[in-house]
Amino acid sequence: MYHTIVTLKKGEGRTLKAGGMWVYHNEIDTIMGAFENGDIVTVQDFDGYFMGYGFINIKSKITVRILSRKKEAVIDEAFMERRVRAAWEYRKQTIDVGSCRLIFGEADFLPGIVIDKFADVLVVESLALGIDRWKNTIVDALKRVLDEDGVAIRGVYERSDAKVRLQEGMERHKGFIGESFDTRVEIVENGVHYIVDVEDGQKTGFFLDQKNNRAAIHRFCKGKEVLDCFTHTGSFALNAGMAGAKSVLGVDASQLAVNQATENAILNHLEDRVTFQCADVFELLPALEEAKRSFDVVILDPPAFTKSRGSVKNAVKGYREINLRGLKLVRNGGFLVTCSCSHFMEPELFAKTIKEAAAGAHKRLRQVEFRTQACDHPILWAADQSYYLKFYIFQVVNEP
């Protein structure tokens, strides 16, 4: 047993008891024993019932992140390697591991750390103080486990530069773990080639969570005119092009992203049909409508409009606006592809918002598909934060 004891208030810890992995500061009655932030502690209920072991950090509202519920567990290098091995075995059984998310925090029972694999490069994002202490141990274990299957890793880059680290009392950081290497990495996904900038790209460099969803649009795009909004480095646009679209326009507010997307189009010999424009989508969509433009397929893949419950109302307005504007540009019988990557935009609320947008645009929607994130970003039931991506494909028809 770890000697620092965190005792919950009576009636608290409901999320933890339901299978969750977080203990919030306002659920704690007492903390007995000496500790440093980042140490492993024992969590017990108000009556002394053992609840689990986890990392403590009193600077964070998430004061304890649970690692194990087994009383006999010992948190050491062997423990971390077992967690890593289980995560790798799961990926091998469920998804193409050429490029994928290898570790997805709480969903892989390693709270606060994300590790993506881009071809032969690993990118690490450490978001919690406790797991940060074990970061190199986890990376070393992962390299060993992959090597056993003949998967060689030539370099590791850390992208622990998210603002959330500040809430843990940690500085933002990025840089090489080990030897330096070329941080522009070529990957292949769904037959599409990309140059991923792991040093300066968004998040870890590329959004792997839409892998299966990008493949799902192929059958709707052949011979079609496609508009891809918030294109980032062109992933949906390029998939539409590879599927045989007649023309694709990708739009993003970042000139850097547009430059990378254009480079990716050339890499795939699609530059004659897939083009990119730097523009604010909220300004461009009304301008396209005014210009009487229309498309067979409109794709809306925006960044998270809300990262907290307090800003959900404003996010709803944003999602409603882009979906209304996007729907007005879809030709009768065409398709709308729309999604939200915000955990706080709950599925029912997102569906309601799309419904309101359709009513405002005087369009009828036939749901073709509803999907979530790729299975290398597993949704761990009871760990609600692991479920965040909502993805719809609709056929759009005019009011009869």
- According to the model, what pLDDT value does residue 304 have? 84
- According to the model, what pLDDT value does residue 202 have? 85
- According to the model, what pLDDT value does residue 44 have? 97
Residues 228 and 252: their CA atoms lie apart, in Å, by 9
- According to the model, what pLDDT value does residue 277 have? 97
DSSP states of 321-390: HHHHHHHHTEEEEEEEEEEE--TTS-HHHHHHHHHHHHHHHTEEEEEEEEE-S-TTS---TT-GGG---E
- Tokens coding 80: 């971390």
**DSSP alpha helix (H) spans, 162-234:** 164-167, 211-216, 218-221
- According to the model, what pLDDT value does residue 54 have? 97
Q: Please, what is the end-to-end C-alpha distance for the chain in angstroms?
A: 68
- Any residues with CB less than 8 A from the CB of 103 and at least 6 apart, and which? 84, 87, 110, 113, 114, 115, 138, 142
Q: Are 29 and 8 in contact (CB under 8 A)?
A: yes
Between helices 135-148 and 77-94, what is the axis angle to 10°? 50
Low-confidence ranges of the chain (pLDDT < 50): none
Catalytic residue among 229, 339, 341, 375: 341
Long-range contacts of 138-143 (CB under 8 A, 24+ apart): 138/80, 138/83, 138/84, 138/103, 138/110, 138/113, 139/115, 139/177, 141/77, 141/80, 141/81, 141/84, 141/85, 142/84, 142/88, 142/102, 142/103, 142/115
Q: Write the single-letter amino acid at 305.
A: F
Q: Are 125 and 160 in contact (CB under 8 A)?
A: yes
- According to the model, what pLDDT value does residue 2 have? 84
What is the pTM for the complete model shown? 0.94
The yes-or-no answer on residue 229 being catalytic is no
Task: Name the burial class of residue 311, with classes exposed (0-12), middle (13-18) and buried (19+) by CB atoms within 10 angstroms of its CB.
Answer: middle
- State the span(s) of the chain assigned CATH 3.40.50.150: 207-398
CA 46 to chain centre: 36
Q: Are 42 and 64 in contact (CB under 8 A)?
A: no
Name the CATH architecture for the domain at 5-68. Answer: Roll (2.30)
- State the span(s) of the chain assigned CATH 2.30.130.10: 5-68
> Cα-flanking dihedrals φ and ψ of residue 195, to 5°?
-95, 120
- According to the model, what pLDDT value does residue 28 have? 98
Strand partners, 197: 184
Q: Are 114 and 125 in contact (CB under 8 A)?
A: yes
- The CATH homologous superfamily for domain 207-398 is Vaccinia Virus protein VP39 (3.40.50.150)
- State the span(s) of the chain assigned CATH 3.30.750.80: 77-185
- According to the model, what pLDDT value does residue 309 have? 78
**Topology annotation, domain 77-185:** Transcription Regulator spoIIAA (3.30.750)
